[in-house]
């Protein structure tokens, strides 16, 4: 759980442990129906009726934004999330993907417009903390998993398509994930090897779990890949 104070850090008295830093995200959502008796009044504990909706919102917005920064930033050779955010084009692309994902999540789960707008702003604010030292490697790690059908890239894309929404930023991020290349990331190496061996379209179908019903989306990702 994130610390309740921004940039909170601690270390052992011996100095053996490195500092622990947090972005200060204050809330922990819990299933209201899972409690027996009164829910304890704990700061930051937020009881909700639909925990599944909260989980989807977190993965499809917060995690999507981080992955978007990493994959778009990696194309420009950045190593830190702060560098990605400082680049106006990378920031705009990641912010666009975040807003598209948030719009799709709101359509699917019925979040109130103002609440979702605040959520989006907080997602950017809690990420834009250079002192954290977050890296492109960490945010983009394991693209094979993150490209799966229900994960943070294709998941919100499919929701957007379901609700008839445009999502060109998310398409570009998915294409960029296919090119992610950092030393030592075996998952990234696997993704690039599949693209080289099968071609982009077949690799998108396999890695993203997309079929003929999503032929239009596959074509968009393939086109975006060719434009990078």
Instruction: Read off the pLDDT of residues 145-191 as tens digits, 9 standing for 90 and up.
Output: 999 999 999 999 999 999 999 999 999 999 999 999 999 999 999 99
Statement to judge: residues 145 and 32 lie in one domain: no
Statement to judge: residues 24 and 100 lie in one domain: no
Statement to judge: residues 138 and 153 lie in one domain: yes
The Cα-based distances of 214 to 41, 151, 152 in angstroms read 46, 16, 17
User: Could you list the active site residues?
Assistant: 58
Q: What is the pLDDT of residues 31-86, one digit of tens each?
A: 666 667 777 776 766 666 666 888 899 999 999 999 999 999 999 999 999 999 99
Statement to judge: residues 97 and 35 lie in one domain: no
Give the pLDDT of residue 16. Answer: 61
Statement to judge: residues 40 and 66 lie in one domain: no
Statement to judge: residues 112 and 184 lie in one domain: yes
- Report the CATH number that the domain containing residue 88 is assigned in CATH: 1.10.1040.10
Statement to judge: residues 38 and 58 lie in one domain: no
**Mean pLDDT score across all residues of the chain:** 87
Statement to judge: residues 166 and 92 lie in one domain: yes
Statement to judge: residues 71 and 43 lie in one domain: no
Statement to judge: residues 107 and 15 lie in one domain: no
Statement to judge: residues 92 and 5 lie in one domain: no
Percentages helix, strand, coil for the chain (3-state, rounded to 5) are 60, 5, 35
Contact 100, 165 (CB under 8 A): yes
Statement to judge: residues 63 and 89 lie in one domain: yes
The residues with which 47 forms a beta bridge, in sequence order, are 30
Structural domain harbouring 40: 1-49
What's the number of domains the chain is made of? 2
Cα-based torsion angle of the residue sequence 148, 81, 93, 76 in order, rounded to the nearest 10 degrees: -90
Report which DSSP code applies to 18.
P
3-state DSSP of 19-82: CCCCCCCCCEEEEHHHCCCCCCCCCCEEEECCHHHHHHHHHHHHHHHHHHHHHHHHCCCCCEHH
The Cα-based distances of 133 to 79, 90, 128 in angstroms read 10, 18, 10
């Amino acid at each position: 759980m994130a610390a309740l104070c921004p940039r909170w850090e601690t270390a052992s008295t011996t100095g053996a442990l490195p500092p622990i830093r947090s972005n200060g995200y204050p809330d922990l959502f819990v299933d209201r129906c899972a409690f027996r008796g009164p829910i304890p009044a704990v700061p930051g504990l937020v009881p909700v009726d639909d925990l599944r909706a909260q989980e989807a919102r977190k993965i499809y917005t917060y995690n999507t934004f981080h992955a978007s920064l990493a994959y778009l930033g990696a194309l420009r050779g950045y190593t830190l999330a702060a560098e990605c955010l400082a680049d106006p084009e990378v920031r705009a692309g990641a912010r666009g993907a975040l807003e598209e994902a948030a719009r799709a999540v709101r359509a699917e789960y019925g979040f109130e417009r103002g609440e979702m707008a605040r959520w989006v702003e907080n997602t950017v604010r809690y990420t834009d903390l250079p002192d954290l030292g977050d890296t492109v490697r960490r945010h983009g790690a394991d693209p094979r998993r993150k490209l799966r059908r229900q994960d943070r890239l294709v998941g919100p894309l499919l929701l957007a398509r379901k609700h008839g929404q445009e999502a060109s930023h998310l398409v570009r991020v998915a294409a960029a994930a296919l090119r992610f290349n950092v030393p030592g990331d075996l998952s990234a190496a696997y993704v690039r090897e599949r693209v080289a061996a099968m071609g982009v379209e077949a690799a998108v179908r396999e890695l993203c779990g997309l079929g003929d019903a999503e032929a239009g989306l596959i074509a968009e990702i393939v086109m975006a890949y060719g434009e990078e």
